[in-house]
Structure 1
């Protein structure tokens, strides 16, 4: 049934990137009445927007509501959250053998091995039997307590709340309204604005969950999914505060925050137009948008209402999203521990990232950083964990600290969490291509951030 079948005779709804917003199993031939659908659209969208995008201060922490819930589980119900995390990891390790997906290709076999290793490492951490070098504060304790545990709680809860954003028409409305901005600049559908904002105010894992879900519905092409996953799914604004504090940049918070946001999205616009991203398949069965001026708002509303009329089974929609969140969390968490530990060990005990830093040296030198080689080596460690450049360069000069802070956010891809998250989705990205994209993003970010940093210091925005 199409939107035209839903609307009164004579009405027309332009097609959008999300003409089929929900899987067939979640849609019903029985439609809600327009008044009920309108109420559902308003109420459910409001719930989603408040839960995802409005910060609330509880205790001494200001963040979005579902993050408060996840934080409560991690801090106040630690034993329960650890138990739930191990259940997720056991399921994540067992699933490839149950469904046979470990045989699919080399990537799946490798990931399955890392999942097993991740579960073993988690057991060793909890029982205190890991070697001393793994039990140092910046190794297994950091990966388990600061990454795996929060991600394991945030993803399923966020996926449940996500249903209110993507299941009742809001995503379709945003898709129509944002198309004139997103398509020419970033070459993605208007609905990808939701992915970008969800990542920035919530979590990159939630942004990836949205991207993967819409990609599986065949509403994103492979290239669009890759652009969104590698360009918009950065760490949250809340984590930017931690980076700024570590680098002693809070005095210039507004300059740091807004410039980082702009630089990140400028880099995304560039990488979308160069290999390897530009070589991905861009075919998708989605009729082009062709709205006459002045009618875009009406078209957005009509399509949002049509989608809401089809969303007749609230329980099924909520369960489907929650199940997807559980599946993603189960796949991500053991990989975060194993892949993350590998990256951190390489950064700390081998010259791998020193060698990688040599490749970045020309860009830090062109950027005019006072100690370009030291800066390049510190920033290269961001491939292992996005926070490492901030830690390694926290005592550097103000320009280097600023650029390191921008790199921590704008590089997007890193082995301790983001890369395993992408590999857990159906988005067709290999590790090799992600490393190339990471290098492109860092090189471009260094040049842009250094140029802006020099300007900001010249006009007195940063002392």
Structure 2
């Protein structure tokens, strides 16, 4: 491996604050094994799909399902404890105003502004209402708060546990540097993004939207992505997994054409990923960084081939990593931050969104302008399909639940595929983006949702007319 080393050339790793040097000799060999071993673990956990118990999944999915089964009904009490502690802790910090260092764990978990304190309060009120079945049907109904309480959060709690603790294997031991260097020219040309965002995309496609988004959030916080790049990746590549796509296809009754269904989604996502970064609001986002300066340089020096530079950067990144104990300690802090910061917000935003979809005509009003477009695209039962498509902004699964009653299989195909390619849904991805440091507000998320819907409709409908 020593032929990859140029002793007069120190690689730029994307972490100028540490500025580690290329390892030499025995350090190079041990760092190479560290890169290969830990990156293989990351790939096995997050990206490599395989058949398990009759479905296509990833190792992280198997671990999540196992922990979920082991927790059983106790996961409900875990959720109650998380959400309640989140609000009580934040309220105590707000009222007592203790002197906390900004990097202290308590400050990170509980020192929040009034907006997020309100969200935590609503989340706490909602979860106890749903648990006790006391309060308005708008909140406690099985199709509103019940979806969050019984369907979504019992999956997210074990998912986040394994995803956050094992995420460093995917992001911090050289895999991002290696794949980023290899894919940089393609991603810059097509999507105006750094090559390392390819890892975000793969972890979403084979894992879950929230996993890819967690990778993006972490990379933005390290200043590897600019605000514009992070916003594009979060709203363009946080696609749901193959496994969940099959669930949607089965629910809406088009699983008999799943291969064509998924290929249509992949094509639509690819086209949307080319268009969306070039139009507002994403094109207007500044190329500013969380720390004030970029910590990433994907330029390849003249004396290196692309492969040599990819290996050089990956091995040097692995060499710079602290002991695993310190890595897991930092991951544990991130896990608690996600639990206390996100789960209450999901209850607050998700329940309200699902309540509006179930009990108000708001989505019918919002979808009215879509009806003429659907009719122009010759989509049968356009009036019934339009509200289902807009409901995807509240939750990705809602269009499938509403759309399964549509008689036309072609229309169900379009509704189901569109619900996957819309990406932005407030019950999970939207809430996670709002909670992150990526500066996107609700109005911008809705604009992105609408533009993605319009692009998706044209592509998916064209494909559907070929099939039906």
TM-score, with structure 1 as normaliser: 0.88
CA drift of 1:131 comes to 4.0
Offset of residue 329 of structure 1: 2.8
Q: Which residue of 2 aligns with 1:41?
A: 35
Q: 2:7 aligns with which of 6, 9, 23?
A: 9
SS of aligned partner of 2:392: helix
Match of 1:141 among 143, 146, 149: 146
CA contact (8 A) 1:407 1:445 kept: yes
Aligned partner of residue 336 in structure 1, secondary structure: helix
Give the structure 2 partner of residue 358 of structure 1: 368
Is the contact between residue 83 and residue 343 of structure 2 (CA under 8 Å) also seen in structure 1?
Answer: yes
How far apart, in 2, do the equivalents of 1:333 and 1:9 lie? 49
Q: What is the rounded CA distance, in whole Å, between the counterparts of 1:8 and 1:170 in structure 2? A: 21
Question: Is 1:418 matched up with 2:429?
Answer: yes
Cα deviation 1:289-326 (Å, max 9, x = unaligned)? 24659811111001101111111322112221232133
Deviation at 1:347, TM superposition (A): 1.0
Paired with 1:449 and 1:86, the residues of 2 have a C-alpha distance of 41
Q: Which of residues 209, 212, 215 in structure 2 aligns to 1:207?
A: 212
Q: In the aligned structure 2, how far is the partner of 1:359 from the partner of 1:19?
A: 46
Deviation at 1:30, TM superposition (A): 11
Q: Deviations over 1:338-373 (max 9, x none)?
A: 211111111121111111101323432332212323
Equivalent residues in 2 for 1:159-198 (5 A)? 159-198=164-203
SS in 2 for 1:383: coil
Aligned to 2:394: 384
Partner of 2:163: 158
| 2:78 paired residue number | 84
Quick one: distance in 2 between partners of 1:169 and 1:416? 33
Question: 2:375 is paired with a residue of what secondary structure?
Answer: helix
Match of 2:331 in 1: 321
Q: Among 440, 448, 452, which residue is 1:429 paired with?
A: 440
Asked if structure 1 preserves the Cα contact closer than 8 Å seen for 2:200 and 2:215, the reply is: yes
How far 1:277 sits from its partner (Å)?
0.7
Instruction: Describe the SS at the equivalent of 1:334.
Output: helix
C-alpha RMSD of matched pairs (Å): 2.7
Matching residue within 45, 69, 72 for 2:63: 69
Size of the aligned set, in residue pairs, is: 442
CA 1:379/1:300 → structure 2, altered by over 3 Å: closer, same or farther? same
Tell me, in whole angstroms, the C-alpha distance in 1 between the residues paired with 2:15 and 2:114. Answer: 33
| Equivalent residue number for residue 317 of structure 2 | 307
Give the alignment partner of residue 93 of structure 1, picking from 87, 97, 116: 87
